[in-house]
């Protein structure tokens, strides 16, 4: 039973390393096909590409825990079902302007 768990753990570990290696390999080849031709940039090796991927992860999403910096505020802008004072007034004014019945002062051409 314990041997089966060790084999599963090892298998998933190898599968994960294979997936990461494939991602780095594909990224390296895309870089080497595009960047030197388009921008006269350098050709990168496998390990340089892995370093660039890690560096870009750090720069663009930081050292956050799993969900990233903005993960806790993901649903903050979901306003459905919440009362917002002034929203009804805004919609009323919007529909008046849309229909041309606006009571706001407009410049009339003479």
Whole-number pLDDT of residue 110: 47
* pLDDT tens per residue, range 74-109: 555 556 666 677 777 888 888 887 777 655 555 555
- Which helix (H) or strand (E) segment holds residue 22: the answer is helix 2-39
* pLDDT tens per residue, range 31-81: 999 999 999 999 999 999 999 999 999 999 988 765 545 555 555 555 666
**How far is Cα 44 from Cα 52, in angstroms, rounded to an integer?**
10
**How far is Cα 76 from Cα 99, in angstroms, rounded to an integer?**
33
Where are the domains positioned within the chain?
1-63
CA neighbor of 49 nearest in space, from 69, 71, 70, 25: 25
Q: Two tokens at 73?
A: 């505020």
**How far is Cα 74 from Cα 65, in angstroms, rounded to an integer?**
14
């Amino acid at each position: 039973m314990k041997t089966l768990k060790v084999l599963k753990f090892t298998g998933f570990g190898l599968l994960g390393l294979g997936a990461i290696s494939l991602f780095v390999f594909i990224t390296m080849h895309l870089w080497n096909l595009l960047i030197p031709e388009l921008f006269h940039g350098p050709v990168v090796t496998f390990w340089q590409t892995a370093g660039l991927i890690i560096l870009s992860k750090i720069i663009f999403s930081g050292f956050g825990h799993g969900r990233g910096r903005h993960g806790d505020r993901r649903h903050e802008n979901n306003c459905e079902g919440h009362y917002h004072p002034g929203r009804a007034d805004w919609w009323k004014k919007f529909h008046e302007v849309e229909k041309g019945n606006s009571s706001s002062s407009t410049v009339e051409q003479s």
